[in-house]
Amino acid sequence: MYSEAPEIVDIWQDFACKMNEQELKGVAKSGSFFSYCAGVASYMLECYQVGGVKITIKSMTLPIKSGLSSSAAICVLVARAFNQLYRLNLNTKGEMHIAYLGELRTASRCGRLDQACAFGVKPNLMIFDGDEMEVKTLNVKKHLYWVFADLLASKDTIRILRDLNRAYPFASNAKEEREHQALGEANQKIIARAVEYMACGDDESLGKLMTEAQELFDSAVAPMCPEELTSPKLHKVLNDPHIQPLVYGGKGVGSQGDGSVQFLAKSEESQQQLISYLNAQGMKAYALTLKPVHTIRKAIIPVAGFGTRLYPATRVLKKDFFPIPDKDGMVKPVILLLLEELVKSGIEDICIVLGSEEDRLIYQNFFEKPLSDEHLHKLNPEMQEYENRILSIGKKLHYVYQKEKRGFGHAVYQAADFANNEPVLLLLGDTLYRTDTNKTCALQLIEKYEQYNKLMVAIHPIPLTEVSHYGILSGVWENSSETELAITKMTEKPKASYAEEFLGVKCKDGEKRYMSVFGQYILTPEVFEQLREEISASTDGDNEIELTSALEKVREKHGMIGVQLQGRMHDMGNFNALVNCVKEFGK
């Protein structure tokens, strides 16, 4: 194992150690900064029999021994390096767990929460129950301008944790009962309020809650370790009259003490003013801005295909206009059902990928041309109102053309200008969706994108006997309910024997499941860039440009999340599927 740090040699030098279990464990107990690297490496070697890694650290932004989990950060870095280099298929929680176990092999006594840095700047709610950990990604609806500062004082974390742990597992007096209450039930209520304030964008209440949490800590927890938790410098900074006009609130960090302080600034300008002031007072201040995720505003539906499997009906009627009975008693074209799904999901603009100008006339006649008075008057009032809804949907439509039939990826790329470097929702033109909840399937996927902010695909399990007909996605579950999959591999129509050996997704019930595409995607700008590169590199105009290959290349660079939605998909692209769709969709 080897690491180098070219820009911070004044703090520590390069480090190297053989991938030998005893040597690594010896370094882990040494107390040096690289003891954390060695602790994680020894665990990796013992449990996964991996080789070594070389890590080049180009900069360091977290202060050491100041309550900002710098040791956890280096542990996560090493765990992630091994995971990616040796394709261990660990999800983020798996990396966190190994980082935690690796740090326990050092002289440190870290908390389970420290490794949250594995999630980056994305805010998460983490719930611990013994060794079990549940992670829920949080929504941020408004910019949150945090400032953290190293107080450059001193704190003894080991002593703080030792004194606070004396009250556990059972309280023996009133003082210890107050600590239990503060760190237990009262803390849970504070967390619930913080989640609510972040979700609705109430930054002022969130800042005041930080101050409230500090007051609770000072009154109920700090008396358990007064030598360390009186924290004179921390409280002097929290009460500084020069700071108060710039912030909504503030509190200590981690186990508290005179390590670090955090504030929620009122604006970006206030954030910068606060950083300048804290630095001028001899501290080291850092900005952390959480930004709201922009929701999905646009969607694409490719319908340029001829519909060969539904011939000869497609000689006179495009398959996207085949009639399907809906549960409201109306018979609607396939495309109208898809568009209703999008409108209910909050989509503002929709791009239809057509095969020709002639196809556009069909759409314009349906969505833009009002019924004649003669026909309109024959409809009951409910249907007359529905006619207005159809015309309203027509105002959201845009059209592009795939004049060369060069594959599904090529069709999707025709909407690149429409996407305009924004993430977009993609629906298949011959698949319908029926939600099992009060949220459409598309909206469920959009909300997951707001949490993960990366390439996404809706997935569902299929029997092993059917894998050869579909694209199969494998990976590791990101959540305990096994609905969010960190995808590690995409395989188009594999043989059942190959899928059984290499593509099954392991579940907590001990079974393997085989996950296929549900027919909805959220494409990030990187997908369109990859499609552009593949089209430019294709010298043969007959080569098909497939979406799957572009998705796989983007996944390798940026990651991809599969989401099981609460709903059902109805394919209608072939004879048997169409029969089933007509029978089942309207139920």
Q: How many residues does the chain have?
A: 587
pLDDT digits (tens, 9 = 90+) for 396-422: 999 999 988 888 899 999 999 999 989
pLDDT digits (tens, 9 = 90+) for 107-151: 776 667 777 778 776 777 888 777 677 777 777 878 999 999 999
Q: Report whether pLDDT(423) > 80.
A: yes
The pLDDT of residue 6 is: 43
* DSSP letter for each residue of 196-251: HHHHHT-HHHHHHHHHHHHHHHHHHTGGGSHHHHT-HHHHHHHT-TTTGGGEEEEE
Tell me the pLDDT band of 10, cut-offs 50, 70 and 90: very low
Q: Which two tokens stand for residue 150?
A: 């190293």
Give the C-alpha separation, 319 to 44, whole Å: 54
Mean pLDDT for the stretch of residues 308-327: 86
Give the C-alpha separation, 426 to 406, whole Å: 18
The pLDDT of residue 157 is: 84
Burial class of residue 230, CB neighbours in 10 A (0-12, 13-18, 19+): middle
Is residue 516 a contact partner of residue 471, using CB atoms and an 8 Å limit? yes
pLDDT digits (tens, 9 = 90+) for 546-561: 898 899 999 988 889 9
Among the ranges given (11-20, 64-73, 450-459, 525-534), the one the predictor scored with the smallest mean pLDDT: 64-73
pLDDT digits (tens, 9 = 90+) for 379-396: 888 888 888 889 999 999
The pLDDT of residue 294 is: 59
Burial class of residue 370, CB neighbours in 10 A (0-12, 13-18, 19+): exposed
The pLDDT of residue 63 is: 65
Give the C-alpha separation, 277 to 263, whole Å: 13
Mean pLDDT for the stretch of residues 481-496: 90
Mean pLDDT for the stretch of residues 529-548: 84
pLDDT digits (tens, 9 = 90+) for 250-269: 999 988 899 999 999 999 99
Residue 323: cis peptide before it, omega within 30 degrees of 0: no
Is residue 73 a contact partner of residue 37, using CB atoms and an 8 Å limit? no
Is residue 444 a contact partner of residue 435, using CB atoms and an 8 Å limit? yes
All domains of the chain in start order, with CATH: 2-130 (3.30.230.10), 144-290 (3.30.70.890), 298-584 (3.90.550.10)
Q: Pick from 293, 294, 296: which is nearest to 520 by CA? A: 296
pLDDT digits (tens, 9 = 90+) for 55-83: 888 777 776 665 556 788 889 999 999 98
